[in-house]
Structure 1
Amino acid sequence: MNHLLENWELKAKEKQKANKQFLQKLQTKRGKGVEKLLPELHEEAFSHIDCLQCAGCCKTISPRFKTPDIKRISKHLGLKESVFIETYLRLDEDGDYVVKRTPCPFLGADNYCGIYDVRPGDCENYPYTDSYDFFKRPNTTFLNSTICPAVYYVLERLKTIMK
Protein backbone atom coordinates (compact mmCIF):
# COMPACT_ATOMS: atom_id res chain seq x y z
CA MET A 1 0.00 0.00 0.00
CA ASN A 2 1.16 3.51 -0.75
CA HIS A 3 2.72 5.32 2.23
CA LEU A 4 0.15 8.13 1.96
CA LEU A 5 -2.55 5.65 2.87
CA GLU A 6 -0.91 4.26 6.00
CA ASN A 7 -3.16 5.25 8.93
CA TRP A 8 -5.08 7.54 6.57
CA GLU A 9 -8.14 7.72 8.85
CA LEU A 10 -6.11 9.02 11.79
CA LYS A 11 -4.13 11.42 9.58
CA ALA A 12 -7.33 12.72 7.94
CA LYS A 13 -8.77 13.57 11.35
CA GLU A 14 -5.53 15.24 12.45
CA LYS A 15 -5.40 17.32 9.25
CA GLN A 16 -9.06 18.39 9.21
CA LYS A 17 -8.41 22.10 9.74
CA ALA A 18 -5.54 22.23 7.24
CA ASN A 19 -7.50 20.27 4.65
CA LYS A 20 -10.51 22.54 4.99
CA GLN A 21 -8.30 25.60 4.47
CA PHE A 22 -6.57 23.96 1.50
CA LEU A 23 -9.90 23.17 -0.17
CA GLN A 24 -11.06 26.75 0.29
CA LYS A 25 -7.84 27.97 -1.37
CA LEU A 26 -8.36 25.51 -4.24
CA GLN A 27 -11.72 27.11 -4.99
CA THR A 28 -9.95 30.41 -5.69
CA LYS A 29 -7.48 28.67 -8.02
CA ARG A 30 -10.30 27.51 -10.29
CA GLY A 31 -9.42 28.11 -13.89
CA LYS A 32 -5.72 27.74 -13.19
CA GLY A 33 -5.77 24.14 -14.41
CA VAL A 34 -6.00 22.48 -11.02
CA GLU A 35 -9.10 20.49 -12.03
CA LYS A 36 -7.16 19.04 -14.98
CA LEU A 37 -5.03 17.12 -12.47
CA LEU A 38 -8.01 15.26 -11.02
CA PRO A 39 -8.54 12.43 -13.54
CA GLU A 40 -4.91 11.32 -13.29
CA LEU A 41 -4.87 11.60 -9.48
CA HIS A 42 -8.17 9.70 -9.34
CA GLU A 43 -6.65 6.84 -11.36
CA GLU A 44 -3.50 6.93 -9.23
CA ALA A 45 -5.51 6.75 -6.01
CA PHE A 46 -7.59 3.82 -7.18
CA SER A 47 -4.50 1.94 -8.29
CA HIS A 48 -3.77 1.71 -4.53
CA ILE A 49 -7.31 1.41 -3.15
CA ASP A 50 -9.85 -1.40 -3.36
CA CYS A 51 -13.30 -0.08 -2.43
CA LEU A 52 -14.39 -3.58 -1.41
CA GLN A 53 -11.81 -3.52 1.38
CA CYS A 54 -13.28 -0.29 2.76
CA ALA A 55 -16.91 0.51 1.86
CA GLY A 56 -16.66 3.47 4.24
CA CYS A 57 -19.10 5.46 2.14
CA CYS A 58 -21.79 2.75 2.26
CA LYS A 59 -21.24 2.24 5.98
CA THR A 60 -21.45 5.89 7.04
CA ILE A 61 -23.25 8.16 4.56
CA SER A 62 -26.22 7.96 2.23
CA PRO A 63 -26.53 9.00 -1.38
CA ARG A 64 -29.46 11.07 -2.52
CA PHE A 65 -32.08 8.94 -4.22
CA LYS A 66 -33.47 11.09 -7.02
CA THR A 67 -36.71 10.24 -8.84
CA PRO A 68 -34.98 8.34 -11.70
CA ASP A 69 -32.99 6.36 -9.12
CA ILE A 70 -36.15 5.45 -7.21
CA LYS A 71 -37.94 4.37 -10.39
CA ARG A 72 -34.99 2.27 -11.59
CA ILE A 73 -34.25 0.59 -8.25
CA SER A 74 -37.93 -0.06 -7.46
CA LYS A 75 -38.37 -1.76 -10.82
CA HIS A 76 -35.21 -3.80 -10.29
CA LEU A 77 -36.43 -4.96 -6.86
CA GLY A 78 -39.95 -5.62 -8.12
CA LEU A 79 -41.45 -3.11 -5.69
CA LYS A 80 -43.89 -0.27 -6.16
CA GLU A 81 -42.09 3.04 -5.76
CA SER A 82 -44.17 3.89 -2.69
CA VAL A 83 -43.25 0.58 -1.04
CA PHE A 84 -39.57 1.10 -1.86
CA ILE A 85 -39.64 4.59 -0.35
CA GLU A 86 -41.57 3.46 2.74
CA THR A 87 -39.25 0.50 3.30
CA TYR A 88 -35.84 2.02 2.68
CA LEU A 89 -35.91 5.82 2.50
CA ARG A 90 -36.58 8.97 4.50
CA LEU A 91 -36.50 12.68 3.67
CA ASP A 92 -33.46 14.51 5.02
CA GLU A 93 -33.20 18.15 6.12
CA ASP A 94 -32.65 19.23 2.49
CA GLY A 95 -35.78 17.44 1.30
CA ASP A 96 -33.81 14.67 -0.43
CA TYR A 97 -34.55 10.98 -0.12
CA VAL A 98 -31.75 9.11 1.68
CA VAL A 99 -31.55 5.68 3.32
CA LYS A 100 -33.27 5.44 6.70
CA ARG A 101 -30.13 4.28 8.46
CA THR A 102 -26.56 3.30 7.87
CA PRO A 103 -24.96 1.12 6.82
CA CYS A 104 -26.81 1.11 3.52
CA PRO A 105 -29.39 -1.69 3.48
CA PHE A 106 -28.06 -2.82 0.10
CA LEU A 107 -24.49 -3.32 1.36
CA GLY A 108 -23.63 -6.99 1.76
CA ALA A 109 -21.39 -8.52 4.41
CA ASP A 110 -18.76 -8.89 1.67
CA ASN A 111 -18.95 -5.11 0.96
CA TYR A 112 -20.60 -5.74 -2.42
CA CYS A 113 -23.61 -3.63 -3.36
CA GLY A 114 -26.80 -5.61 -3.85
CA ILE A 115 -28.09 -3.07 -6.38
CA TYR A 116 -24.78 -2.14 -7.99
CA ASP A 117 -26.04 -2.26 -11.58
CA VAL A 118 -28.91 0.12 -10.75
CA ARG A 119 -27.32 2.09 -7.88
CA PRO A 120 -28.12 5.78 -7.39
CA GLY A 121 -26.22 8.33 -9.44
CA ASP A 122 -24.55 9.67 -6.29
CA CYS A 123 -23.08 6.21 -5.66
CA GLU A 124 -21.89 5.90 -9.24
CA ASN A 125 -20.09 9.26 -9.09
CA TYR A 126 -18.71 8.97 -5.55
CA PRO A 127 -16.14 10.04 -4.36
CA TYR A 128 -16.04 12.81 -7.02
CA THR A 129 -12.24 12.74 -7.11
CA ASP A 130 -12.26 12.91 -10.90
CA SER A 131 -14.67 15.81 -11.37
CA TYR A 132 -15.01 19.51 -10.65
CA ASP A 133 -17.45 18.61 -7.85
CA PHE A 134 -14.30 17.89 -5.83
CA PHE A 135 -13.67 21.67 -5.71
CA LYS A 136 -17.22 22.93 -6.08
CA ARG A 137 -18.34 21.45 -2.76
CA PRO A 138 -15.37 21.92 -0.39
CA ASN A 139 -17.37 21.06 2.74
CA THR A 140 -18.48 17.76 1.22
CA THR A 141 -14.96 16.98 0.01
CA PHE A 142 -13.60 17.85 3.44
CA LEU A 143 -16.06 15.43 5.08
CA ASN A 144 -15.36 12.78 2.45
CA SER A 145 -11.63 12.97 3.21
CA THR A 146 -12.40 11.37 6.58
CA ILE A 147 -14.64 8.68 5.04
CA CYS A 148 -12.89 7.70 1.81
CA PRO A 149 -9.18 6.94 1.44
CA ALA A 150 -9.28 8.05 -2.22
CA VAL A 151 -10.41 11.55 -1.28
CA TYR A 152 -7.72 11.76 1.37
CA TYR A 153 -5.12 10.49 -1.13
CA VAL A 154 -6.08 13.00 -3.83
CA LEU A 155 -6.06 15.87 -1.32
CA GLU A 156 -2.61 14.94 -0.07
CA ARG A 157 -1.24 14.58 -3.60
CA LEU A 158 -2.71 17.95 -4.58
CA LYS A 159 -1.05 19.55 -1.57
CA THR A 160 2.36 18.24 -2.67
CA ILE A 161 1.80 19.29 -6.30
CA MET A 162 0.52 22.78 -5.42
CA LYS A 163 3.49 23.68 -3.16
Structure 2
Amino acid sequence: MQTDHIRLANQLCFSVYNTSRLFTKFYQRALSDFGLTYSQYLVLMALWEEDGQTLHQIGDALYLESNTLTPLLRRMEDAGWLTREKSAHDRRQLTVHLTAEGQESQGPIQQAIAECIGKEHLDIDQYNDTQETISQLETALRTLLTDESKMEE
Protein backbone atom coordinates (compact mmCIF):
# COMPACT_ATOMS: atom_id res chain seq x y z
CA MET A 1 0.00 0.00 0.00
CA GLN A 2 1.41 3.36 -1.04
CA THR A 3 0.80 6.59 0.85
CA ASP A 4 0.46 9.94 -0.94
CA HIS A 5 3.71 11.40 0.40
CA ILE A 6 5.86 8.68 -1.19
CA ARG A 7 4.17 8.63 -4.58
CA LEU A 8 6.49 9.30 -7.52
CA ALA A 9 4.59 12.41 -8.57
CA ASN A 10 5.09 13.91 -5.09
CA GLN A 11 8.85 13.47 -4.99
CA LEU A 12 10.83 16.71 -5.20
CA CYS A 13 13.85 14.84 -6.57
CA PHE A 14 11.73 13.50 -9.45
CA SER A 15 10.40 16.98 -10.24
CA VAL A 16 13.90 18.46 -10.20
CA TYR A 17 15.20 15.63 -12.40
CA ASN A 18 12.44 16.15 -14.97
CA THR A 19 12.80 19.91 -14.84
CA SER A 20 16.53 19.57 -15.51
CA ARG A 21 15.87 17.38 -18.55
CA LEU A 22 13.27 19.86 -19.82
CA PHE A 23 15.62 22.81 -19.34
CA THR A 24 18.23 21.01 -21.41
CA LYS A 25 15.70 20.52 -24.21
CA PHE A 26 14.50 24.11 -23.83
CA TYR A 27 18.01 25.54 -24.17
CA GLN A 28 18.80 23.15 -27.01
CA ARG A 29 16.29 25.00 -29.19
CA ALA A 30 18.41 28.15 -28.98
CA LEU A 31 21.78 26.37 -29.03
CA SER A 32 21.21 24.09 -32.00
CA ASP A 33 21.75 26.96 -34.45
CA PHE A 34 25.28 27.28 -33.03
CA GLY A 35 25.98 23.54 -33.05
CA LEU A 36 26.28 23.50 -29.26
CA THR A 37 24.99 21.13 -26.63
CA TYR A 38 23.77 22.41 -23.28
CA SER A 39 26.92 21.08 -21.57
CA GLN A 40 29.12 22.89 -24.10
CA TYR A 41 27.15 26.08 -23.48
CA LEU A 42 27.91 25.77 -19.76
CA VAL A 43 31.63 25.47 -20.53
CA LEU A 44 31.44 28.60 -22.68
CA MET A 45 29.64 30.45 -19.89
CA ALA A 46 32.40 29.52 -17.43
CA LEU A 47 35.05 30.73 -19.90
CA TRP A 48 33.14 33.93 -20.70
CA GLU A 49 33.24 34.71 -16.99
CA GLU A 50 36.98 34.00 -16.84
CA ASP A 51 39.01 32.92 -19.85
CA GLY A 52 42.18 30.89 -19.41
CA GLN A 53 40.98 28.52 -16.72
CA THR A 54 42.52 25.16 -15.95
CA LEU A 55 40.63 21.94 -16.51
CA HIS A 56 40.35 21.64 -12.73
CA GLN A 57 38.87 25.14 -12.35
CA ILE A 58 36.24 24.49 -15.03
CA GLY A 59 35.42 21.15 -13.45
CA ASP A 60 34.96 22.81 -10.06
CA ALA A 61 32.74 25.54 -11.53
CA LEU A 62 30.51 23.02 -13.35
CA TYR A 63 30.76 20.20 -10.78
CA LEU A 64 32.12 17.87 -13.45
CA GLU A 65 34.92 15.32 -13.16
CA SER A 66 37.83 15.49 -15.60
CA ASN A 67 36.78 12.19 -17.24
CA THR A 68 33.50 13.87 -18.24
CA LEU A 69 35.00 17.24 -19.08
CA THR A 70 37.98 16.09 -21.18
CA PRO A 71 35.99 14.61 -24.11
CA LEU A 72 33.62 17.57 -23.98
CA LEU A 73 36.51 20.02 -24.27
CA ARG A 74 38.10 17.95 -27.03
CA ARG A 75 34.91 18.16 -29.11
CA MET A 76 34.68 21.90 -28.46
CA GLU A 77 38.30 22.35 -29.54
CA ASP A 78 37.64 20.35 -32.71
CA ALA A 79 34.65 22.62 -33.42
CA GLY A 80 36.79 25.76 -32.99
CA TRP A 81 35.31 27.13 -29.74
CA LEU A 82 38.41 26.84 -27.56
CA THR A 83 42.00 25.70 -27.30
CA ARG A 84 43.58 23.42 -24.72
CA GLU A 85 47.20 24.02 -23.81
CA LYS A 86 49.49 22.08 -21.53
CA SER A 87 51.45 24.19 -19.09
CA ALA A 88 55.14 24.63 -19.81
CA HIS A 89 55.79 24.28 -16.04
CA ASP A 90 53.60 21.23 -15.40
CA ARG A 91 52.67 19.04 -18.35
CA ARG A 92 49.81 17.54 -16.32
CA GLN A 93 48.14 20.96 -16.07
CA LEU A 94 45.77 21.87 -18.92
CA THR A 95 44.67 25.47 -19.52
CA VAL A 96 41.62 26.23 -21.64
CA HIS A 97 41.22 29.45 -23.66
CA LEU A 98 38.41 30.69 -25.87
CA THR A 99 39.19 31.13 -29.54
CA ALA A 100 38.15 34.31 -31.35
CA GLU A 101 34.99 32.46 -32.41
CA GLY A 102 34.29 31.48 -28.81
CA GLN A 103 34.69 35.07 -27.67
CA GLU A 104 32.76 36.67 -30.52
CA SER A 105 29.84 34.26 -30.22
CA GLN A 106 28.99 35.29 -26.66
CA GLY A 107 26.61 38.08 -27.68
CA PRO A 108 24.73 36.13 -30.37
CA ILE A 109 24.39 33.03 -28.17
CA GLN A 110 23.17 35.00 -25.18
CA GLN A 111 20.74 36.88 -27.44
CA ALA A 112 19.37 33.56 -28.75
CA ILE A 113 18.89 32.31 -25.17
CA ALA A 114 17.17 35.56 -24.15
CA GLU A 115 14.84 35.36 -27.16
CA CYS A 116 14.01 31.75 -26.35
CA ILE A 117 13.17 32.65 -22.76
CA GLY A 118 11.20 35.72 -23.89
CA LYS A 119 9.12 33.70 -26.35
CA GLU A 120 8.04 31.41 -23.57
CA HIS A 121 6.85 34.32 -21.40
CA LEU A 122 8.65 33.13 -18.32
CA ASP A 123 7.95 35.39 -15.37
CA ILE A 124 11.35 36.79 -14.36
CA ASP A 125 10.40 37.28 -10.70
CA GLN A 126 9.18 33.71 -10.41
CA TYR A 127 12.30 32.53 -12.25
CA ASN A 128 14.57 34.40 -9.81
CA ASP A 129 12.65 33.17 -6.75
CA THR A 130 12.81 29.59 -7.99
CA GLN A 131 16.52 29.89 -8.76
CA GLU A 132 17.17 31.14 -5.23
CA THR A 133 15.19 28.27 -3.69
CA ILE A 134 16.97 25.67 -5.81
CA SER A 135 20.34 27.22 -5.01
CA GLN A 136 19.59 26.95 -1.28
CA LEU A 137 18.52 23.32 -1.72
CA GLU A 138 21.67 22.56 -3.73
CA THR A 139 23.86 24.12 -1.02
CA ALA A 140 22.11 22.14 1.71
CA LEU A 141 22.47 18.84 -0.17
CA ARG A 142 26.11 19.55 -1.08
CA THR A 143 26.88 20.34 2.58
CA LEU A 144 25.11 17.18 3.75
CA LEU A 145 26.99 14.99 1.28
CA THR A 146 30.32 16.68 2.08
CA ASP A 147 29.76 16.20 5.81
CA GLU A 148 28.86 12.52 5.28
CA SER A 149 31.95 11.88 3.15
CA LYS A 150 34.13 13.51 5.83
CA MET A 151 32.63 11.18 8.47
CA GLU A 152 33.46 8.15 6.29
CA GLU A 153 37.16 9.09 6.15
* TM-score with structure 1 setting the length: 0.22
Between Structure 1 and Structure 2, whose CA radius of gyration is higher?
A: 2
Please state which structure has a larger fraction of its residues in helix. 2
Structure 1 or 2: more strand by fraction: 2
